[in-house]
Amino acid sequence: MLLLFLGPFVLLTVLFFVMPAIITAFLALTNLDAAFQGTYVGLDNFRGLFADPLLPRVLLNTVVYVFFTLICFNTGLGLVLALLTTHIPDRVGTVFRAIWLLPRLTPMVVYGLLWLWFVDPTKYGMLNTARSWFGLAPLDLISASPWLVIVLVNGFIGASLGMVILTSAIKSVPEDYVRAARVDGASSLAIVRHVILPLIRWPLTFVLVNQTLALLTSYEYILLVTGGGPFYDTTVYALYVFRRAIQNGDYGYGAALAFILVVVGAVAALSYWRLLNFERMISAPKIEAD
């Protein structure tokens, strides 16, 4: 019985997480190149990490990217959207959230292209058309402030997961607490601060942790919008792995970089699990199978 229920998921995890991780670990010990030729080189690739002149820049980029996207959008805007859409009539809120979720259902490339058209540097881009109405000259936003565009592109789509999770968390706060706080004299803002936020602390922490890990491994939109350039200026760690391994054909070194990310992710996930006591958030099963 146990195998029947868990089996499919164990299989998926082994096939798409454990196996690739093991293969990555093995590849990291080779100098496999674009022609798929390589020999065992021991820990040379890992030693190379310390000598990589690009890596400090990439790490700093990663911190900037994760921090701003996470705080301003994936958690911050997600929370704001959840609060706003639960404080307006229910049906309007649902429609609004559904619209905000649309990009998630859109293929990544389409979403990325939409942004590229929006910030197109010529006068035909949407942003520049709008600027022309006010007599402003066309702006090349991607060159002028690439980080702004990257954070916006990732943030607007990233906020929706937090929005959905936090919306259901806010809705699960018993109505009586909010009513009691109103009678006690609290304004809407005071209710959010003193009642709602403390009561949704766990889901909020979950969103924060989950999105940190998700952002650490994400690079798709950056690849689509700036390609990590100019040079390596907007390349984050996950994109660096992709560029070194796939674009430069340096599979051995790329695997070493990727392996570090796997280890960081696994260690972070496990320590969050322990530190934040995730087990408390999981309700006991209603039935048990032997």
Partner 1 sequence: MGRIVLDKLGKRFGVVEALRDLNLEIADAELIALLGPSGCGKTTTLLMLAGIYKPTSGQILFDGVAVNDLPPQDRHIGMVFQSYALYPHMTVFDNIAFPLRLLRRPVDEIQRRVLEAAALVQIEALMDRRPSQLSGGQQQRTALARALVKQPTLLLLDEPLSNLDAKLRVLMRAEIKHLQRRLGITTILVTHDQVEAMTMADRIAVLRDGLLQQVGTPDDLYYRPANTFVAGFIGSPPMNFIPAQVETTDGQVAFAAEGMRLPAAEWTAPHLARRRGGPVLVGVRPEDIRLSLVPGESAVQGRILDVEPLGRELVVAVTVGRQVVVAIAEHGFAGKPDQPVGMFVPPERIYVFDPTTESAIV
Interface ranges with partner 1 (CB under 8 A): 174, 176-177, 179-187, 190, 194-195, 198-199, 201
CA 152, 69, 266, 232 torsion-angle sign: positive
- CA dist., res. 147 & res. 71, Å (int): 15
Q: How far is the CB of 185 from partner 1 (least distance, A)?
A: 4
- Least separation in angstroms between residue 175's CB and partner 1 is 9
Instruction: Report the residue number, 176 or 290, with the smaller CB distance to partner 1.
Output: 176
Q: Which is nearer to partner 1, 186 or 224 (CB)?
A: 186
Task: Compute CA distances 145 → 37, 75, 119, whole Å.
Answer: 40, 22, 11
Interior CA angle at 282 toward 279 and 286, to 5°? Answer: 130
**Minimal distance, residue 271 CB to partner 1, in Å:** 25
Of 119 and 170, nearer to partner 1 (C-beta) is 170
Q: What is the dihedral of CA 234, 240, 246, 251, to 10 degrees?
A: 160
Question: Shortest distance, CB of residue 201 to partner 1, whole angstroms?
Answer: 8
Which is closer to partner 1, CB of 7 or CB of 198? 198
Q: Which is nearer to partner 1, 104 or 193 (CB)?
A: 193
Query: Nearest to residue 171, comparing CAs of 71, 85, 266, 234?
Result: 85
Helices (H), the chain: 2-13, 19-27, 44-51, 55-68, 78-86, 90-105, 108-118, 126-133, 141-144, 146-171, 175-183, 188-191, 197-199, 201-216, 220-225, 237-242, 251-275
* Minimal distance, residue 205 CB to partner 1, in Å: 14
- Separation CA 225–CA 288 (nearest Å): 48
List of residues 6+ apart from 270 with CB closer than 8 A: none
Residue 90 or 140: which CB sits closer to partner 1?
90
**Residue 286 CB, nearest distance to partner 1 (Å)?**
23
C-beta of 174 vs 285, nearer to partner 1: 174
CB of 193 to partner 1, least distance (A): 11
Distances (CA, A) of 129 to 7, 117, 122, 144: 55, 11, 9, 17
